[in-house]
Amino acid sequence: MKIKNLFVSEEALNFPLTKEIIKGKEYKITTIEEIRKLSSEKKINQKDTLFLTTFPANFIKDCPCTPGYVSCGYKNINIAYNCSVGCSYCILQDYLTYPVLTLFVNMEKLENELNELTAKEKYLRIGTGELTDSLIWEKLYPLSNRFNEIFRKKEEIIFEYKTKTNYIENFKQNKNNNILISFSMNPPALKKEEPFSASPQKRIQAMEHLVKLGYPVGIHFDPLIFYEGWEEDYKILIKNIFEKIPPSSIGWISIGSLRFHKNMRWVIRDNHKKSILLKTEFAEGSDNKYRYPFTVRRELYTTIIKYLNDFGSNDLPIYFCMENTEMWEELLPIKPETDIINRYLYESVKQFYS
């Protein structure tokens, strides 16, 4: 991630993280309103402009799950907004009001929130990969060092990095007992839908290296994309993964199909004119999101689960992301209840460290 424009809000100036990032760099003190104006005038670009500011609300939030679909009980840390990977299906294109890469520097507040949360909840699974890629920041500043240090003092929490990069240079021999690094995976044929991601092979190599360092890894087949030739492409991808990664080193595997809000159809068409995402049938759900029809999703999931069983193991910790109860009950052995799912996945990672 190369930054051409570095902006800092006045209230963020005196935080330690701000001082470390701006040291030796040119920057400008400004406001989000001015940044929005510059962005609307096309004077700055999202992917090479960074805004350092403070986050006024709580960092930790429940992972948003559509009503009527099964929640896995996960929690997100919103430490940053936006992403430089440029995925055609990314909801951030139509979701965030911050027009540039934004990093919230008041991380001391996060530690207070964690203390409050651990005092009242068990089986906590928390990650940073909802509104940004967890590891794009590593080239700018090794945030993983900071997070590993924080969660080394919170061993009762499972902390997950989620990425489409292979930026793992800052991960050394594992000293934590609660860290999971997860990789979102799609076949090479879909690389053009994730233009600035690491190739699937590089992500597999990163997983292999992390396992050697003593970390468990997670895998997210989300979103699964239906296109001509998908069966063979996903088969080869999963086979390649398990040629390098032992099933015992996998903390969890999520599976979810392509889905998006109504307005995203037009965003995808405007931003990614050659995308294959819209070249198939979608059905509108009760939540006003477009998804593949139930039968198509079932075909995707059934096939992926078979490949995971065939090349990996038949007792992998698999769960669905944003799926309904009917699909869970038909295809997965675990009962589709949030507390049961959350504890099952939590213990899957903890088992690696026992």
Cβ–Cβ < 8 Å for 190, 155: no
Query: Using CB atoms within 10 A of its CB, is residue 175 exposed (0-12), middle (13-18) or buried (19+)?
Result: exposed
Give yes or no for residue 72 having a pLDDT over 80. Answer: yes
Write down the pLDDT at residue 288: 82
Give yes or no for residue 285 having a pLDDT over 90. Answer: no
Give yes or no for residue 338 having a pLDDT over 90. Answer: yes
> Tell me: the pLDDT tens digits for 286-312?
778 899 999 999 999 999 999 999 999
CATH of the domain at 328: 3.80.30.30
> Tell me: the pLDDT tens digits for 9-26?
999 999 999 999 999 999
> Tell me: the pLDDT tens digits for 161-181?
999 999 999 999 999 999 999
Q: How does the average pLDDT of the chain come out, rounded?
A: 95
* Domain span including residue 229: 5-353
Write down the pLDDT at residue 181: 98
Write down the pLDDT at residue 219: 98
Give yes or no for residue 127 having a pLDDT over 80. Answer: yes
- Residue from 24, 11, 87 nearest 51 by CA: 11
Q: Provide the percentage of residues in the chain whose pLDDT is more than 90.
A: 88
Span 78-103, average pLDDT: 91
Instruction: Report how far residue 188's alpha carbon sits from residue 197's, in angstroms, rounded to the nearest whole number.
Output: 11
- What is the count of structural domains for the chain? 1
Q: Residue 228's pLDDT band (boundaries 50, 70, 90)?
A: very high
